[in-house]
Amino acid sequence: MAQAIAALDSLVREELPMMIDEAGPEIAPVFDKIKRTAFGVKSQTGLGRGYKVIHLYETGVAGLIESGDPLGPEMSTIVGNQTRLLAQGSAAAGLTIFPTAAESPHMGDIKRELVLHKVVGNFSIPAAWKQADLLNAAQIKKVARDMKAVAKLKAIYEASSFFSHSVTNASGNINQVLGRISAIAESTQSGEGDYIVITLDEVYGRIANFRQSMRIDIVKDSAGVLQDGVNTDATHVRNYTDSTAKYVHLIISSVDYLGKKITLAPVNADTGGLPDFTAGYGSATVPGVANDWLVFSKTSRYTSGSRPQFSWGINDWIKSSGVILGGASGAAALDLGVYPQFKSQVQAVNGPLTDDVINGYIGGYLDAYPGETLDTIITTQGVQLKWLQQPGLYNNRQNYERTGKALSFKGGWSQIAYEFGGRSYEWIMSPMCLTKTLYALKFAGENIQRFSPPRLGGMEASMGQEIEFLAPLGGHSGVFMVAHASSGAPQELLEAPFWYYCLIAPKDPRGVKLTNLLEATML
């Protein structure tokens, strides 16, 4: 028994953090370019208050510079020119050529404190799996596969957050969303009566954000505003039952990546039953309508007991108006109305990507911020293929070589690259990037970093494992503890609750964002 427990504890404690670190670049290759660091991360005031990182921006110049008369002060002429005297009437003014010290301005500093986000999770196994006579190789492999799936969920959570669309909620705060409903209907597949089939509007979130077994919520939209309240009558979160006001788990049972559709299995959290699609979802009657929002489960409700998915993606800092790097006002963030030097080039193109378009906007950015650089472009496959279709590219530049021999022809394309002013830009095609969008930003010089707390016992930048488990803090020798029902009764289930702190943020938030780009039809 002890050996079985030790085997699973070691497997989870050692392998899960490693799997989580490795899953990020697999889900979103851009994560390979983001360095993890603890440098500058400090504990907030008081016990148990989490962590923060401080960014200090220098602004402006200091001192005064004026022009002086190169001939010096005026001199009075005495007859004979053998003697000269400073012009008595204007001598004081002629000699007072230096700016007054008391009037000399000084540069300013902008201090921005960014709070690290806390993400909590759990991993469970049946208690029987930890009995020595039942623990076999197949179950060990099952635990390993489950851990890999937990790591993948964490990677999707962060990657979708990095690229996600941000929407204003009814409380005036910013909510990140996984996507938006284009159409919703009851499943017609055999055995899936009352299952929910949702077609995505990928302008607000890509199908790559979704995987089987994820649990999500459908949240009501009102004129583009996400309803973030806690009503249990389906006027805020849609997935509540009609008369009993019970929460309904919406578990993704299948994902049609080509059709841009997800199928949800609804499960009554109180009874385990299957709610009726047309009559079991509160005042909404059905669990959502077109334009409603899709979010990770329980990340839309702004109450003291909820944990909304915080914003930590590029759409939170590449802006031309509003506030950036979190917060809802100038007091809580960098207000671009007050600090316009942090503005990015954000433009709606309303057409295809062409050389003229990308050259013009990147050139305009570099001209506005001389000395600054960009090094990476992120966009979608559709934008990329539409760019290749433009005159002067690809289809209209096919060359035929025929010198008395058989025709040799090669179609398709091999690689995409972009250069501007002699500088090469890395081109990344991301399946999680919002459709019709292109970003140009800077990763060089460790500009975009992933901040995590330092090791215990010191504030140096050395990194330990990011994941922390709850059980050892309660006196358990391993990472597992007995799960309990809401009544407090122990269950035949073992859980390994964990959490981690992190924040992805740039030192220089400026970049280029092009929206409403036409995408190629991909059959």
Considering the entire predicted model, what is its pTM?
A: 0.83
The pLDDT assigned to 458 comes to 41
Q: Give the three-class secondary structure for 384.
A: helix
pLDDT of 199 higher than 90: yes
- What is the Rg, in whole angstroms, of the alpha carbon atoms belonging to the chain? 30
Q: Retrieve residue 176's tokens.
A: 């990140």
* C-alpha–C-alpha distance, residues 463 and 453, integer Å: 8
CA angle 125, 129, 134 (to 5 degrees): 165
Closest CA to 351 of 393, 394, 392, 389: 389
422-431 residue pLDDT tens: 888 999 988 8
First and final CA of the chain: distance in angstroms? 55
Q: Please name the residue that has the structure tokens 């031309």.
A: 320
Strand partners, 461: none
Q: What is the mean pLDDT of residues 293-313?
A: 74
Q: Retrieve residue 270's tokens.
A: 């109180």
* C-alpha–C-alpha distance, residues 214 and 84, integer Å: 93
Cβ–Cβ < 8 Å for 254, 262: yes
DSSP secondary structure string for all residues of 379-447: E-HHHHHHHHTSTTSGGGG---B-SSS--B---S-----EEETTEEEEEEE-TTSPTT-EEEE--GGG-
Question: What stretch of H or E contains 148?
Answer: helix 137-163
471-502 residue pLDDT tens: 888 887 778 888 888 788 888 888 888 888 88
Q: Retrieve residue 12's tokens.
A: 């989870």
Distances (CA, A) of 261 to 183, 202, 240: 9, 10, 22
289: CB partners within 8 A, 6+ apart: 181, 184
Give the chain's mean pLDDT.
Answer: 81
Of the pLDDT bands very low, low, confident and very high (cuts 50, 70, 90), residue 201 is very high
Q: Retrieve residue 423's tokens.
A: 């500088």
pLDDT of 401 higher than 80: no
Cβ–Cβ < 8 Å for 511, 40: no
Q: Please name the residue that has the structure tokens 């959502």.
A: 288
pLDDT of 178 higher than 90: yes
CA angle 269, 275, 276 (to 5 degrees): 170
Q: Phi and psi at residue 307, in whole multiples of 5°?
A: -130, 80
Chain centre distance of CA 511: 15
Q: Retrieve residue 202's tokens.
A: 């990928």
Better pLDDT: 292 or 148: 292
Of the pLDDT bands very low, low, confident and very high (cuts 50, 70, 90), residue 411 is low
